[in-house]
Amino acid sequence: MSALAVRVGGTVSRRFHTGALGLGVATLWLSVIVLLPLSAVVVRSLDGGLGAFWDAVSSRQAVAALRFTVLVSLATAAINVVGGTLIAWVLVRDQFHGKRVVNALIDLPFALPTIVAGLTLLTLYGPRSPFGINLAYTQVAVLLALLFVTLPFVIRSVQPVLIELDREMEEAALSLGAGNATIFRRIVLPNLVPAILSGAALAFARAVGEFGSIVLISGNIPFRTQVSSVYVFKLIESDAPTSAAAVSTVLLLVSLAVLLGIRGLGHWGARHDR
Amino acid sequence: MTVSRPWRIGLRVVGLGYLALLLLVPVGLIFYRTFEHGVGAVWASITTPAAIHAFQLTLEVTAIAVPLNTLFGIVMAMALARGEWRGKGLVNAIIDLPFAISPIVIGLSLILVYGARGWLGGALADAGVQVIFSVPGIVLATIFVSLPFVVREVTPVLKEVGDDQEQAAATLGAGGWTTFRRVTLPSIRWGVAYGVVLSVARCIGEFGAVSVVSGKISGQTETLTLLVEKRFSNFDLAGAYAASALLALIALGTLLAMTAIKPRREEGDT
């Protein structure tokens, strides 16, 4: 039924749409709200010429912050690939009491303000930790905060694919004598890969830009726990907008690359669907 | 794939344990720390003039940003799902940018346009309008970060329901507006509702972008999330927990609303 509806929706009618005026106003809104400010960042970053831009983004502190940001975000994405897929599997294929509540709780990191998430983690894994685990101002604390805020991405991306997955393929493999490990590796996993990767890419993009949950728990120690977004914040506070814009432009390029990658994944996934 | 019972339970324990350690225990602890000194102290701390003002400002900003983005979202979703036009791919990509960009970069971008030395800063100062370190800046930042939610929720629903009924209505002589109001809107309303809930949560919870542009003036440009940070930095831990607990309650309300709306949205219930 749903497949049919999608196909019908695919044949686009020109008789009914919002009209040129609606589209024009919406595009103008998008330009004023999003494009104008972002182009100001790029233009401002080149204010002092390419040399000044390069100096700002290649300063030791900027490079250290960017390297840590990318590495900790990659680690976050990697842990989410394993943990997220596992949790999605438990939520789809396993039956237990309270499953609906757990399923609803997965979205908590989307609903909870990031500063509250940061305070929360600091309460549990900070100096006053009831378990005596003090991770405050360490790189592990940053990783923990990023794992918290990116938790839903892989789960919510894998879950629907796992629900739709045709179990007859698995039964056929089973009847032909394949073991569980083989079935998972040869049948389940290949079907999930596009969803896992796009969820991981979203988690990575989110992690690279994250600020609120990190700012309290990281201690913002240069060369150790300072991430790029906090570094940019410090630059803004110390009234160095051109340097801030330069580092921001690099972050913007990373975001754009990830978005393009996800679009590519979408096309790839759609092709493999058939 | 029929996983044996021990394996299934093992995976369940690992998965749920991870969730508990990362999500449940920390959030539960916030409520414990909030109420460990009694309800009276909490009440006193969330009813100080600064806290009440922060709460009001947060709601005001949300009340401006969400309707604007909902209107934009529905119009844009109609254009994306029903129309064919040049630049559609590009617009589609731009809509996702607020999800992918650091909130700090968003805040900086607004300063560079509307700040004292920004592109429009001079003209705005001449007109006597202050955007940065003032409420309009907070509103702009909040609109920016919550822009994609309604579009991204409504577009797939519009594609899923197709345009058969709209065409039928048009054939029967209904005008564009009537068709939208009587046919399209009822079929997308749960998608819109879901997008609105997500937008509200993001608007209330936004911290990074707002903290860059607000100036954090107590009783003037301080939102609820900024109040949490300020109380924490001022070593008012109990106050920070109280404000956090309020925000966490709002987040739980959001989850309830999402859970209530989700099945209706997916069934296309009308």
Residues B31 and B159 in one domain: no
Closest to B238 (Cα-Cα) out of B85, B34, B100: B34
Cβ atoms of B221 and B57 within 8 Å: the answer is yes
Within B57-202, strands assigned E span none
List chain B pLDDT tens, one digit each, 270 residues: 667 788 888 889 999 998 888 888 888 888 888 888 888 889 999 999 999 999 999 999 999 999 999 999 999 999 999 888 888 888 988 999 999 999 999 999 999 999 988 999 889 989 999 999 999 999 999 999 999 999 999 999 999 888 888 888 888 888 888 888 888 899 999 999 999 999 999 999 999 999 999 988 888 899 999 999 999 999 998 999 999 999 999 999 999 999 899 888 766 544
> Nearest-CA neighbor of A36 among B133, B235, B109, B65?
B109
Same domain for B57 and B23: no
- Give pLDDT, residue A36: 96
Residue A126 phi/psi, 5° resolution?
A: -110, -165
Range A61-88 average pLDDT? 96
Percent of chain A exceeding pLDDT 90 equals 62
Same domain, B152 and B136: yes
Predicted confidence band at A1 (pLDDT cuts at 50, 70, 90)? very low
Interface test with B, best of A7, A11, A16, A238 (most B CBs within 10 A): A16
Strands (DSSP E) contained in A160-267 are: none
Distances in Å between the Cα of A2 and the Cα atoms of A8, B162, B195 are 10, 10, 21
Write down the ipTM of this complex: 0.90
User: Looking at chain B, how many residues does it have?
Assistant: 270
Same domain, B31 and B50: no
Does one domain contain both B62 and B32?
A: no
Closest residue on chain B to A261 (Cα): B93
> Domain limits of chain A?
76-273
Count, residues in chain A: 274
Q: Is the pLDDT of residue A7 over 70?
A: no
> Is residue A142 a contact partner of residue A227, using CB atoms and an 8 Å limit?
yes
DSSP B23: I
Taking only the tens place, the pLDDT of each residue in B179-231 is 888 888 999 999 999 999 999 999 999 999 999 999 888 888 999 999 999 99
Which residues, including other chains, have CB under 8 Å from residue B133's CB and lie 6 or more apart? B213, B214, B215, B217, B221
Distance CA B68, CA B73 (A): 8
Domain count, chain B: 2
Cβ-contact B255, A107 below 8 angstroms: yes
| Contact present, B244 and A122 (Cβ < 8 Å) | no
B98 and B23, same structural domain? no
* Pair (B132, B234) in one structural domain: yes
Range of the domain at B144: 38-267
Closest Cβ–Cβ partner in B15, B147, B252 for A34: B147
Residue A193: partners with Cβ closer than 8 Å, 6 or more residues away: none
Tokens of residue B270, six digits: 């009308």
Mutate to test the interface with B, among A115, A167, A191, A214 (most CBs of B within 10 A): A115
> pLDDT, tens digit, for every residue of A211-265?
999 999 998 899 999 999 999 999 999 999 999 999 999 999 999 999 888 888 7
Dist. CA B4–CA A117, nearest whole Å? 37
Task: Verify that B24 and B93 share a domain, yes or no.
Answer: no
Q: Which helix (H) or strand (E) holds B149?
A: helix B148-161
3-class DSSP state of A66? helix
Cβ contacts of B212 on chain A, cutoff 8 Å: 233, 236
CATH value at residue B129: 1.10.3720.10
Contact A209 B252 (CB under 8 A): no
Same domain, B49 and B158: yes
Based on the fold, state whether residues B50 and B81 are members of the same structural domain: yes
The mean-pLDDT minimum among A5-14, A98-107, A117-126, A148-157 falls in A5-14
Helices (H), A59-185: 60-93, 99-105, 108-111, 114-125, 139-164, 167-175, 180-183
CA dist A100 → B144, B255, B266 (Å): 33, 12, 16
B16 to A114: CB separation less than 8 angstroms, yes or no: no
Residue type, B79: A
Helices and strands (H, E) in chain A, number of each type: 15, 0
Q: Which CATH class is domain A76-273?
A: mainly alpha
